[in-house]
A and B are shown apart, each in its own frame.
Chain A
Amino acid sequence: MNRRDSIRSLFLGSMAGGLALESCVTEPKQALEQKIWDYQYGRTPQEKAYDEKLLNQQFFTTSELDKIRRLGNLILPPNEAGSIEEAGVPEFIEFMAKDFPSIQTQMRGGLMWLDSHTYKTFGKNFIDCSEDEQHQVLDLIAFPDPEAKEQKQEVRFFSLVRNLVMTGYFTSEAGIKELGYQGNQPNVWDGVPEEVLKDHGMSYDESWMPKFVDQSKRNDMAAWDEEGNLIS
């Protein structure tokens, strides 16, 4: 390719990219601006402005997001506990690609690789493959060798997507419920439940018991004798 051709193809490439980006912003701008208000958690004004900027940009194209959604559903198929869609996983991955720009090339390249692989193997794009064909692809890339020094790019790509899908799900409301996490609420800790201690063959040392909080007296004002012994 001579220089003129390469300039032309670069130009076309960027044009096409620009058009694709325009068309893939499916949500009206107003809705995107609204998104920032869905998130209220004590950010500084600078952090809020940064998040607003990211939320108003679009990195993945519609077809890339379709592929991410498909991959996510293969990694964690919906069941009675929850789905990746309910967990907001595709939106989360879109956001993280802008928040961690270092993953952009690996994500975009990996998604491209998927199509070129399925085109060679099945004569169609990944998204158009049957579930069985898609499983065949995943069987090739979903099992890193724990002993190997380095993993192939397609294996690394899939591990990245799997990590994002898993963490996106298990940090969602449904995922946290499924995991069984019971905290993040005011409560009174009085030690590991007795039956759990028993299951693990553990117990609290008798000699330690006087050191622990008597939760029935937590509201009594602390007072000490001159030796520093708590007397309230």
Chain B
Amino acid sequence: MQIIENKKQYDVVIVGSGAGGGMATKILADQGLKVAVVEAGPFFDPANPDQQTQLKWPYESPRRGAGTTRAFGEFDMAYGGWNIEGEPYNQIGETQFDWFRSRMLGGRTNHWGRISLRFGPRDFKGKDRDGLGDNWPIGYEDLKPYYDKVDKLIGVFGSKENMYNEPDGYFLPAPKPRLHELYYKKGAEKSGVKVMPSRLSILTKRINNERGICFYCSQCSRSCSVYGDFSAGSCLIFPAQKSGGQVDLYVNSMVREVEVNGEGKATGVLYINKEDRKEYRVTGKVVVLAASACSTARILLNSKSAQHPNGLGNSSDLVGKYLHDSTGSDRMAFVPELMNRKRYNEDGVGGMHLYSPWWLDNKNLDFPRGYHIEVWGGLGMPSYGSGFNPNDLNKYLGLKVGGYGNQLREDVKKFYGSVMGMSGRGESIARKENYCEIDPTTVDEFGIPVLRFNYSWSDYERKQARHMHNTFEEIIENMGGIVLGEKPGADRDYGLLNPGRIIHEVGTTRMGSDPKKSVVNEFEQLHDVNNVFIVDAGPFVSQADKNPTWTILALSWRTSEYIIQELKKQNI
């Protein structure tokens, strides 16, 4: 196919516009560098009325919010999902890895849970504690200044708690808990489970004059039209453009590979414009990959050349290896005391107002790593599915289930807001045997070879999930609630969700100081090619019992400063 040349020469070509790519765009453009951002999806701005779903009612849609077109319901702000037409991926053997992709400017940051937790000192040195996995080549002290800067630039609410492994930051004040959250607090504390205000990147207070303050509609998953929550487009890329940065956005542009010159150094990327289906070349002095852990691995593995026959940056043969996601398992509870609730506006911020960080010492447990607990429930906006099985809970009250007639109206009103849930999100052990690789049998609709996955959970994760359910049940009982659903047993891996489901997949280009045992160095620079950097979650050595975004942002900032410094020194 003929390649269409772009005459413009960039300082940096960034692939992907989510948390990592957005932060790199901001830092590099603010320093006056000429930046190209290549994004596989369309342009998106949550303030654009044509794209906005925030504050829409379910009856404004013919399907009332059902998830046919978008995985988390049609008002959710992720264009894509677990399956994207024309962009397949495959599984090896019994693997059931679910891969979530969001194709749009800002990527998954437009809909994410905004849970913004720093990794703590222990999270960087897992192997020192239990001999499993590997340590990071850096520690908390290396990232702390960047976490601090991210807090101040983007904004995160929370509270100072002085816990060693849950480092405090520069917090905005936290919102007061909702009613079911107070029930949870009571139940959890009775069992010695620590409860504290959540830490979410939502503006409960003014942080600058460009972004609005949260107005408590609970719809961060729809991306905020006043930029009151963190999304990479509205908080990083647009500000970089507005402050005069030289940022060119290439949207609907699917990157096929990184190109190299005769010395094996990167010269830019080749991408397919989804609109005209033609292949284009964009060149730059530095290439920054931020396409997401698995997409970046795919691009590297598809970038084969005489200089890099095993794929770019893959002399270690580790690109795609050590793929791991957070563990996850959920449980629901019916709280009879929450029946027939008095009504008030309980929307609050998008997500929980309090949660439980990991509170135990694994030395005394039969599994090595911890988990945190997220809480959900309340008087939320009805959506498709509300009113299903309107009185199934009657069976716990000795009343009839089913029926018809206006009694059903009363049943729905009676139970509204009386069901809540808990989600455990934990750390798994990174293993070489869990990986993604190129599937030579399949291409996507752009002719690019796709990924296939090989993944299994081990007893480390299964036993952790078992512990989650024991904890959930104890807390629910303490709350005066009734546990819903069967306790998942060994036959169901104790309720562990499929890998990929928590959408925290990391580790495919892990960092380290030994080029034989890692793909990038501590500055997320490929060991093999010094002008290629990776600023998504690929370089994570281990995914803690936290959410990865705040660490992606801090690492990307640190790497971007390193790139500027290396360019100045003319080292790259």
**In the assembly, what is the distance between CA of A164 and CA of B395, in Å?**
21
- Judged by a CB distance under 8 angstroms, whether A1 is at the interface is no
Name the residue on A nearest B152 (C-beta): A224
Q: Give the chain B neighbours of A138 by CB distance below 8 A.
A: 404
Interface residues of B in 39-69 (CB under 8 A from A): 42, 49-53, 55-66, 68-69
B264 at the binding interface (Cβ < 8 Å): no
| B207/A171 in contact, CB under 8 A | no
**Chain A residues in 8 Å Cβ range of B178:** 192
CB distance from A67 to the nearest CB of B (A): 15
CB distance from A221 to the nearest CB of B (A): 5
Question: Which chain A residues border B174 with CB–CB below 8 Å?
Answer: 211-213
Q: Using Cβ atoms and an 8 Å threshold, which residues of chain B touch A181?
A: 343, 379-382
Tell me, yes or no, whether A142 is within 8 Å of chain B by CB.
yes
Q: Collect the chain A residues with CB atoms within 8 Å of residue B113's CB.
A: none
Smallest Cβ distance from B147 to chain A, in angstroms?
11
Residue of A nearest to B159 (CB): A211
What is the 8 Å Cβ interface bit string for chain B, positions 402-436, against chain A (1 contact, 0 not)? 11111011001100100000000000000000000
Chain B residues in 8 Å Cβ range of A2: none
Cα A229 to Cα B346 in complex, Å, equals 28
Q: Is B17 an interface residue (CB 8 A)?
A: no
B248 beta carbon closer than 8 Å to chain A: no
Judged by a CB distance under 8 angstroms, whether A143 is at the interface is yes
On chain B, the residues within 8 Å of A200 by CB distance are: 179, 182-183, 337
CB distance from A199 to the nearest CB of B (A): 7
Contact: A144 with B346, CB < 8 Å? Answer: no
B412 touches A173 (CB 8 A): no
Main SS class of interface, A: loop
Q: In the complex, are the beta carbons of B175 and A76 less than 8 A apart? A: no
Docked-complex contact A41 and B60, CB < 8 angstroms: yes
Name the B residues within 8 Å of A197 (CB-CB): 179, 182
Report if A214 contacts B (CB, 8 A).
yes
Q: In whole angstroms, what is the CA distance A185 to B79 when docked? A: 25
Known contacts A196-B179, A196-B342, A229-B160; decide if A42 and B53 are in contact (CB<8 Å): yes
CB pair B387–A189 under 8 Å, yes or no, is no
> What's the Cα separation between A166 and B217 when bound, in Å?
24
Q: Shortest distance in angstroms between A215's beta carbon and chain B's nearest beta carbon? A: 9
**Chain A residues positioned under 8 Å from B384 (CB to CB):** 167, 171
In whole angstroms, how far apart are the Cα atoms of A95 and B68 in the complex? 12
Q: Is A169 an interface residue (CB 8 A)?
A: yes
B317 → A minimal CB distance (Å): 39
Are A171 and B59 interface neighbours, CB within 8 A?
yes
Contact (Cβ within 8 A) A92 B64: yes
Within 8 A of A (CB), among B331-369: 337, 341-349
Q: Are A74 and B404 in contact (CB under 8 A)?
A: yes
B347-A184 in contact (CB<8A):
yes
Tell me the minimal C-beta distance from A163 to chain B in angstroms. 4
B31 within 8 Å of A by Cβ?
no
User: Residue B381 contacts which of A55, A75, A168, A183 (CB distance < 8 angstroms)?
Assistant: A183
Contact between A183 and B79 (Cβ–Cβ < 8 Å)? no
Residue of B nearest to A170 (CB): B387
Question: Is the CB–CB distance between A182 and B345 below 8 Å?
Answer: yes
Complex: how many Å from CA A78 to CA B337? 30
**Considering the chains assembled together, what is the distance between the CA atoms of A15 and B523 in angstroms?**
69
| Bound Cα distance from A183 to B416, whole angstroms | 14
* Of B65, B155, B170, most A-chain CB atoms within 10 Å: B170
Distance between Cα atoms of A224 and B182 in the complex (Å): 29
CB-CB < 8 A to A204: which residues of B?
176-177, 182
- Complex-state Cα separation, A61 to B534, whole angstroms: 56
Contact B343 A182 (CB under 8 A): yes
Interface stretch of the complex, out of A3-11, A43-51, A111-119: A43-51
- Taken together as a complex, chains A and B put the C-alpha atoms of A217 and B173 apart, in Å, by 10
Q: Is B524 an interface residue (CB 8 A)?
A: no
**A76-B409, A199-B342 known; A176 vs B382 contact (CB < 8 Å):** yes
Chain B CB within 8 A of A23 CB: no
Q: In the bound complex, how far is the Cα of B347 from the Cα of A191, in angstroms?
A: 10
A185 adjacent to B217 (CB under 8 Å): yes
Q: How distant is A192 from chain B, measured CB to nearest CB, in Å?
A: 5
Which residues of chain A are near B277, meaning CB under 8 Å?
none
Question: A20 vs B228: C-alpha distance in the bound complex, in angstroms?
Answer: 52
**Complex partner residue of B197 from A144, A190, A208, A222, CB under 8 angstroms:** A208
Chain B residues contacting A146 (CB-CB under 8 Å) are 392, 395, 401
Contact mask for chain A residues 196-232; partner B; CB cutoff 8 A; 1 contact, 0 none: 1101101010001001111001111110100011101
Q: A51 CA to B68 CA in the complex, in Å?
A: 11
User: Of the candidates B148, B157, B382, which one forms a contact with A171 in the assembled complex, judged by CB atoms under 8 Å apart?
Assistant: B382
A224 touches B170 (CB 8 A): yes
CB-defined contacts of B171 to chain A, threshold 8 Å: 228, 230
Q: Which of B183-208 contact A (CB under 8 A)?
A: 183, 186, 197, 204-208
B213 part of interface (Cβ distance < 8 Å)? yes
CA A41 to CA B217, docked complex, whole Å: 16
B441 sits at the interface (CB 8 A) = no
Closest residue of chain A to B66 (Cβ to Cβ) is A99
**Taking the nearest CB of chain A, how far is it from the CB of B219, in angstroms?**
8
Given contacts A51-B62, A146-B395, A171-B65, 13 further A-B contacts (CB under 8 A): A42-B50, A167-B382, A167-B386, A167-B388, A179-B412, A181-B379, A186-B215, A190-B176, A196-B344, A204-B176, A213-B175, A219-B213, A228-B160
Give me the 10 closest cross-chain CB pairs, A-B, nearest first.
A166-B387, A191-B176, A183-B347, A180-B343, A186-B215, A171-B58, A211-B159, A170-B387, A143-B402, A42-B53
